[in-house]
Amino acid sequence: MRRSLCLGVCIALMGCSSAPEKPDPTPLERITEVIELDDVESIGLGGGDQTGLSPASSDGAIAAASATGEVYLLDQQLNELWNVDLDQTIVGGVGANATGVYVVTTDAKLVALSRDNGSTLFEVALPSSSTVPPLATETLVFVKTQIGRLLAIDVITGEIVWLEEAQESGVGIRGGAPMTLAGDVLFVLWESGRIVAYQRDTGRILWERQVAVSRGRSPLERIVDSKGAPSVRNNQVATATRNGQVSLLDARSGQVGIRESRCAQYRWCNCQKDPMQQV
């Protein structure tokens, strides 16, 4: 009987040892090639904002703004089509579509300007200001605020179509991650290191995942926000946060495929024991 039991245990152990091992991700290599870029055209907008105000392009035109409140619409050769001085400080950058140009001011207002001549279409009071550019489609303009609220606003009427509030407890440095729209899904990386996929038209949360956790002793080291928008390609979404945590997820389900962390001495390591693996 004891001999049979030992044989059974050996067979079970052999079965466990024959389970296929998951392949380790290919280590990322540092890119050392130098690329030189030549200026084709340039235009000065006044400057004055150290975080940078992102321009937006739509239907062959470029919308841009200065921190001092000037909004420009330019053609592809950077010839000025119109400019408007809002006499308000602009933060975050510009959003644009076929009918309008959109900016957010420091006093927490979304200002919509006509694509034709720069006249004001509407203004919307926001829950707080926003340091990322609005994102506009042909029907909605999305605004991500600093206090964790996400708004979808009708581009014709200026009415709020839906509002979602994230459970934000993280602190970030001014200038968060821009939003990314892929099809009918809006991807938002919040300052707490959590990415959320929202249904574009309704705001329904499709999935959410924690892609970065706080590490380090000082408050600055524990910041996990990002200034990089989620990148969506081939049904996968990639994120990178300020403290070097990089993730690749399935854009449809949010399932984590690869998670890496940039460790000390600028080497890449596979963080299999990362506490985020428990999410």
Query: In the listed set 165, 182, 217, which residue is the last one of a domain according to the structure?
Result: 165
Half-sphere exposure of 206 (CA within 13 A, CB side): 18
Please indicate, yes or no, if residue 18 is contained in any of the structural domains.
no
Are 160 and 217 part of one and the same domain?
A: no
Are 153 and 238 part of one and the same domain?
A: no
pLDDT band at 30 (very low <50, low <70, confident <90, very high): confident
Instruction: Supply angle C-alpha 215, 239, 264, rounded to 5.
Output: 40
Are 206 and 252 part of one and the same domain?
A: yes
Instruction: Kindly report, residue by residue over 86-117, the tens digit of the pLDDT.
Output: 999 998 889 999 999 999 999 999 999 999 99
Query: In the listed set 114, 143, 165, which residue is the last one of a domain according to the structure?
Result: 165
Are 129 and 64 part of one and the same domain?
A: yes
Please indicate, yes or no, if residue 134 is contained in any of the structural domains.
yes
Q: What is the residue range of 203's domain?
A: 169-279
Q: Residue 207 has which token pair? A: 């999935």
CA-CA distance, 31 to 51, in Å (whole number)? 25
Query: In the listed set 142, 165, 188, which residue is the last one of a domain according to the structure?
Result: 165
Instruction: Kindly report, residue by residue over 216-231, the tens digit of the pLDDT.
Output: 666 555 565 566 789 9
The answer to whether residue 16 scores a pLDDT higher than 70 is no
Are 160 and 174 part of one and the same domain?
A: no
CATH, residue 255: 2.40.10.480
Answer yes or no: are the C-beta atoms of 72 and 78 closer than 8 Å.
Answer: no
CATH, residue 74: 2.40.128.630
Q: Calculate the alpha carbon distances from 168 to 143, 190, 196, 260 in Å.
A: 16, 8, 12, 23
Pairing between β-strand 135-136 and β-strand 120-125 as defined by DSSP bridges:
unpaired
Most confidently modeled range among 38-47, 94-103, 251-260? 94-103
Are 85 and 173 part of one and the same domain?
A: no
Are 122 and 220 part of one and the same domain?
A: no
**DSSP reduced 3-state for 238:** strand
CA-CA distance, 53 to 40, in Å (whole number)? 20
